[in-house]
Amino acid sequence: MIHVSGITKKFQDHAVLDCIDLDLKQGEVKVVIGPSGSGKSTLLKCIGALEPFDNGSVQVGETRIEGPASRSRSGSDQDKLRQIRLSAGMVFQQFHLFPHLTALENIMEAPVQVLKVSKTEAETTAKKLLQQVQLGNRADRYPRQLSGGEQQRVAIARALAMNPKCVLFDEPTSALDPEMVGEVLSVMRELADKGMTLLVATHEMDFAKEVAGEILMLDQGRVVERGTPSMVFGNPSEQRTRRFLHRITHR
């Protein structure tokens, strides 16, 4: 489903992603951990075709794009990037709901505008998705009238409305008050149970242990350790991983 091979990205001379490989099969869930600034967001944005990269390649579904092509303005490359964006749903740390639209309209917007689905059909789907994230009674609220946890669940529904092949989560619970983390994680758990392919940057250890097939530890743009949750959390081989885990469990 997702094939990342040797991608590298530099800001000026500083390598933010340094030759990263990553594979997710259909239905797999993987979790990326790592200290602040290690490149988690950048990695997800490169996979989701929101950021160009320099070398290597990204493939999502059937569509593959090489580093240089990710910066190209040519029509065929732009089409490929758009294809990848349509295949990979994105959920952001800061939700990024559209503040001028209601929850329902946030979900309907892209299906109607991009996929040209009829309004009535989009509304039916959107309402169903709101039910699925336990927000059936919040359809007409604007983002500012919703709690953080509710906003993030609407954001998940918005991504799902485009029928993506996989969903990329960038620290979806880091901006939330602790009591709201659970409701978001349970929605994600449900998705995993249904067989959705998920790539999640998160520091929620319990969630990772429970649903992730593999954990990747990122530091300074490199994968410094990877393995099953029990391997990485139970018996990390790297000093850096150990220190990082110690820090986040003793916060």
Partner 1 sequence: MPFQHKTLILWVLIGLTAVPSVSAGTLEDIRAAGELQWGADAEGGAPYVFPDPDQPDQLIGFEVDLADAIAKQLGVTARMVQTDWRSLIPALQRRDFHIALNGIEWTGERSRVVDFSRPYYIYEQQLVVRSDENRIRSVNDLGGKTVGTLAATVAQQMLEKRGDVTLKVYEGQVQPYRDLELMRIDAVFMDWPIAAHYARPNPKLKFAGAPIGEGLYVIALPKGDAEFSGRINKILEDLYADGTLQGIYEKWGLWNLKQVSLRESDHSARKVFTGGTDNGLGVYLPLLLKGAGMTVLISIAAMALAMVFGAAVTLTRLMGGRLLKPLAVAYVEIMRGTPLLLQLYIIYYGLPNIGISLNAFTAAVLGLGLNYAAYESEIYRAGLESIPKGQHDAALSLGMTRWMIYRRILIPQARRVVLPPVTNDFISLFKDSSLVSIIAIVELTKSYNMLAVSSMKFLELGLLTGALYLMMSLPLSVLSTRLEKHLAIS
Ligand X SMILES: Nc1ncnc2c1ncn2[C@@H]1O[C@H](COP(=O)(O)OP(=O)(O)OP(=O)(O)O)[C@@H](O)[C@H]1O
Report the interface residues with partner 1, using CB under 8 A.
Answer: 45, 48, 50, 82, 85-86, 88-90, 92, 94, 96-100, 109-110, 113-115, 144, 155, 158-159, 162
CB of 216 to ligand X, least distance (A): 12
203 sits near ligand X (criterion: CB under 6 A): no
Pairing mode of beta strands 2-11, 14-24:
antiparallel
Query: d(Cα 80, Cα 69) in Å, to the nearest integer?
Result: 9
Element (H, E) at 232: none
Using N-to-C axis directions, what is the helix angle for 103-113 and 148-160, rounded to 10°? 20
11 sits near ligand X (criterion: CB under 6 A): yes
Pick from ligand X, partner 1, Mg ion, none: which does 135 bind, CB < 5 to 8 A by kind? Answer: none
For 190, phi and psi rounded to 5 degrees? -60, -45
Tokens for 201?
A: 């940057």
Q: State which residue, 36 or 239, has the beta carbon closest to ligand X.
A: 36
Q: Which of 248, 245, 216 is nearest to 233 (CA)?
A: 245
Pick from ligand X, Mg ion, partner 1, none: which does 34 bind, CB < 5 to 8 A by kind? Answer: ligand X
Window 33 to 52, contacts with ligand X (CB under 6 A): 34, 36-42
Helix (H/G/I), strand (E/B), else coil: 169: strand
CB of 44 to ligand X, least distance (A): 8
Residues that bind ligand X (CB under 6 A): 11, 16, 34, 36-42
